[in-house]
Structure 1
């Protein structure tokens, strides 16, 4: 059985859990990171020298970096349909995954840190405002993309949708005014309706 280290309060761990559940792969999750510790132990560092979560162990093969783990799982289970066989469609999906990590996550992270993980009396409104200003146009961009097709990379669910759905879960959970974006909202409704989303996209932020 696969072993996954990481706490579910981590967006990056949620990506991997969502993928495992979508593919129906049995796994054992072990709490690690944050208040659970573990990540600085010699055994963990030997597997992941970054001392971060998630960490996946597939029969002795260890892998870290959340989006890479998602790609690995999807490629490992080709019948699951998450990793397009067509080369161009596959790299279109991968492009959205990288965009989530390099652009969307960076824009919205500070609002999450300030509003969820920072005591109210220590919050910096300027940091929240800057994060919101950087993130809102990115959701607009996604709404335009999803007006063309039901999923980010075409007509079917792929690896592209997983990290962005986890990002959307985090953003929608923040106590902010959220503008109406009908195509984005319809896509997210499809994502949270998936049985595999249970225990991932229905969790409160922490």
Structure 2
């Protein structure tokens, strides 16, 4: 039985799972257009959000958790090490992406990219843009230090999440975007990976 992924591929959270699956060599069954309001879907995920992963009788939501699960399921310790300190370094950046970085870009992204009428306050937009630039700057500093990937010299699961985030920042129509060569080099490095080309560069912002 194939593992099933529910969620539209334009979603950045769905795309991180799809990229992870490419790294693992998994061919996921897809359901692109779920009825999020249906009782059947809410029984699987009470948040009524995607992605959702179905593996036999096991259902899982939260995209970062889904990515962790798949890597652990396939025992790909190169992507998420078993050694406690190495694993903690990867998960530190994964959690930072889900919390600090995501919260920094949300208002500006909804305003400038999605053009949401509810997100057009000039003060909040300026704060959001500044926060987005600040947090990408933190990522750039880390990449300058490692010279390669966010957890060190080797590509890990954290780079799936942060690679998509870096591409989103570069693709968004942001004013006063700082010049961050480390981010440019990072995206170029990730562009050697088929999963990023398919679900990052060609997957939209």
Question: Do both proteins adopt the same fold according to a TM-score greater than 0.5, normalized to the shorter chain?
Answer: yes
In 1, Cα distance between equivalents of 2:89 and 2:64? 14
Aligned alpha-carbon RMSD (Å): 1.9
Counterpart among 123, 126, 136 of residue 126 in structure 1: 123
- Structure 2 SS opposite 1:95: helix
Number of equivalenced pairs: 201
* 1:184 positional shift: 2.1
- Structure 2 SS opposite 1:136: helix
Distance 1:79 1:163, change over 3 A: closer
In 1, Cα distance between equivalents of 2:195 and 2:119? 36
* 1:203 positional shift: 2.4
In 2, Cα distance between equivalents of 1:121 and 1:45? 26
In 1, Cα distance between equivalents of 2:124 and 2:107? 7
Aligned partners of 1:23 and 1:80 also within 8 Å: no
In 2, Cα distance between equivalents of 1:116 and 1:162? 22
**Offset from partner CA, 1:140-191 (integer Å, 9 cap, x none):** 2111111122111111111111111111222222112432212222112111
Q: Does 1:51 align with 2:52?
A: no
Distance 1:122 1:99, change over 3 A: closer
**TM-score normalised over the length of structure 1:** 0.90
In 2, Cα distance between equivalents of 1:115 and 1:22? 31
Query: Which structure 1 segments of 5+ residues have no match?
Result: none
* 1:43 positional shift: 1.6
In 1, Cα distance between equivalents of 2:87 and 2:119? 43
Q: Does 1:165 align with 2:175?
A: no
Q: Does 1:64 align with 2:57?
A: no
Per the alignment, residue 111 of structure 2 pairs with: 114
* 1:85 positional shift: 2.2
* 1:108 positional shift: 0.5
Distance 1:80 1:196, change over 3 A: farther
